[in-house]
């Protein structure tokens, strides 16, 4: 968020990364192969209703699995695309076809009806792109290289995952629950109280480690509110509340970084002692 | 991508994270305050044309700055929202207003015209949400907590940034350039050659460190192709090509992890020697 004029003048060349809301919306996927199976998974994550339009003979095993296991959300139409009426009532269209001509035609129909559309492998025809994703409960991370290769995106994904403790999703869930409890104690929308609630939550999030939240159960949350919010809106220390820190990636790193030098110090001392006592004996 | 049936049955509760394409599209932002200034920045990144509709008296300094510096992309209409005709020719609508009633009305108009819309602070009215973002050249990363607080998203953002070397964007750019050079040497779309190109690029990306790519200049890229692709499609080692590894976050970590134990070993040896010689002197 810098105000450097040169930076502002250079802004461009990217996409708008957004979290599209599909809850109970209708999504048509034309095709049933491997790419289609990836699309089904992404769309299931977003709680939409999915129609997979493809002959059964061409279904990828994972697409079949989704159709079998998620009949609550996925409908299979065992046939080819038949015409514009397939788009009726749809909120998003995805094609995953080898037939570029058909993909082109479907994109054109979608545009006429102003339905967002993605045609796999034909970036020029897409309203939006997919990217590599990390999911951990309420936490979703997307990595886009703006068309510079899915391979690099998946390498970046591994690098990012290595920096996460794996407790972030749980921590975010707990922060959400704590915020709801706070709202019950200090209800109302906006105003001074709303700002105070937001400020207290914000301080708590800044002063605690994310992992401190992940272990909070219901009574521990009440305890945070009793000893924090209710006592002059202070931020209690996790140790005050008997919250023991779980081991995390970064903590296991600091343990290692202390352990290794200790062993090395000990080894050095023993080596010198042995050498000296050996030379003393001669 | 596991096929665990329980995982598949539990898929849901998230959003669809996508990279929306806005190049030369028209985006209307109603409002000019701080949130609007953040929106202008996000939309400028995606190369759209922006209309900011808000009385000049209510513009945030950053919104003003964007209007001043990016006249090529940002048009300011110094007035209130006047009615549905404001939406003519628009491809996306964003409201950033204190007036919830007006936001509601604009969302309704947008829906009637099937224009994607986001109303700041009114999640129920949004077709899509924004999230915390990391940008490094062609690399864009988005962090969404699915409405569980921007504070947590920005903490996750810092955690992810700590795991990046800062050379990823440059590396991705270079990989893109290298891929183009390879296509010039071995042209054609799809087929066996296309698969071989993809396989070689993929092996190269897996065997090299991302940072090895970041230092490639034009002649070094030709060298990679000469000594790799042209010699039986092998993957050359960076050292073979005289590519010296730049220091990265992960490498400075491994240096530290070797250095500290060495110092500790030495200190241990010296301490033992001093202690022994002291006790010997008594």
Domain extents for chain B?
20-129, 131-164, 168-241
Give me the pLDDT at residue B260, please. Answer: 60
Nearest CB among A43, A144, A201 relative to B151 is that of: A201
B80-136 pLDDT, tens per residue?
A: 999 999 999 999 999 999 999 999 999 999 999 999 999 998 888 999 999 999 999
State which residue of chain A sits closest to B174, comparing Cα positions: A148
Higher model confidence: residue A72 or residue B150? A72
Give me the pLDDT at residue A223, please. Answer: 95
- Residues of chain B in contact with residue A280, where contact means CB-CB under 8 angstroms, are 280
pLDDT at B253 over 50: no
Active site residue A88: no
The 3-state secondary structure of B112-173 reads HCCCCEEECCCHHHCCEECCEEEEECCEEEEEECCCCCHHHHHHHHHHHHHCCCCCHHHHHH
Question: How far off is chain A from B226, nearest CA to CA, in Å?
Answer: 22
pLDDT at A267 over 50: yes
Q: Mean pLDDT throughout B218-232?
A: 95
Q: Mean pLDDT throughout A12-26?
A: 96
Residues 6+ apart with CB under 8 A from B151: A201, A202, A205, A206
Mean pLDDT is lowest, of A1-5, A37-41, B17-21, for A1-5
CB atoms closer than 10 angstroms to residue A191: 9
Give me the CATH code for the A168-241 domain, please: 1.10.3280
Third-level CATH fold of B20-129: Rossmann fold (3.40.50)
Distance between alpha carbon A102 and the CA centroid of its chain, in Å?
A: 33
Give me the pLDDT at residue A252, please. Answer: 39
Query: Cβ distance B13 to A139 under 8 Å?
Result: no
Q: Which stretches within A95-149 are classed as H helix?
A: 100-112
State which residue of chain B sits closest to A129, comparing Cα positions: B19
- Residues of chain A in contact with residue B204, where contact means CB-CB under 8 angstroms, are none
Q: Quote the mean pLDDT of chain A.
A: 89
- Residues of chain B in contact with residue A276, where contact means CB-CB under 8 angstroms, are 272-273, 276-277
Third-level CATH fold of A20-130: Rossmann fold (3.40.50)
Contact A17 B20 (CB under 8 A): yes
A66-116 pLDDT, tens per residue?
A: 999 999 999 999 999 999 999 999 999 999 999 999 999 999 999 999 999
ipTM over 0.85? The verdict is no
Give me the pLDDT at residue A264, please. Answer: 73
Rounded CA separation B76/B152 (Å)? 33
């Amino acid at each position: 968020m810098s105000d450097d004029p040169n930076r502002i003048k250079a802004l461009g060349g990217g996409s708008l990364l957004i979290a599209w809301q599909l809850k109970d919306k209708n999504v048509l996927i034309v095709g049933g192969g491997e790419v289609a199976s990836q699309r089904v998974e992404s769309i299931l994550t977003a709680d939409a209703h999915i129609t997979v339009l493809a002959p059964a003979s061409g279904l990828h095993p994972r697409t079949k699995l989704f159709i079998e296991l998620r009949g609550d959300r996925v409908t299979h139409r065992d046939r080819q695309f038949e015409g514009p009426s397939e788009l009726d009532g749809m909120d998003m269209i995805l094609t995953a076809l080898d037939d570029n001509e058909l993909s082109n035609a479907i994109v054109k129909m979608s545009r006429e009806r102003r339905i967002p559309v993605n045609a796999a492998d034909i970036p020029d025809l897409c309203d939006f792109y997919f990217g590599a994703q990390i999911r951990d409960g309420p936490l979703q991370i997307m990595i886009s290289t703006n068309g510079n290769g899915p391979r690099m995106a998946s390498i970046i994904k591994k690098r990012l995952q290595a920096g996460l403790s794996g407790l972030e999703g749980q921590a975010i869930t707990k922060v959400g629950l704590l915020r709801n409890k706070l709202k019950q104690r200090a209800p109302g929308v906006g105003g001074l109280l709303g700002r105070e609630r937001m400020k207290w939550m914000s301080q708590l999030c800044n002063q605690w480690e994310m992992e401190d939240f992940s272990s909070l159960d219901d009574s521990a949350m009440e305890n945070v509110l009793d000893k924090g919010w209710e006592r002059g809106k202070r931020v209690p220390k996790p140790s005050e509340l008997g919250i023991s820190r779980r081991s995390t990636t970064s903590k296991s790193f600091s343990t290692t970084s202390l352990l290794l030098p200790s062993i090395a110090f000990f080894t050095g001392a023993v080596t010198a002692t042995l050498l000296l006592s050996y030379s003393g004996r001669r």
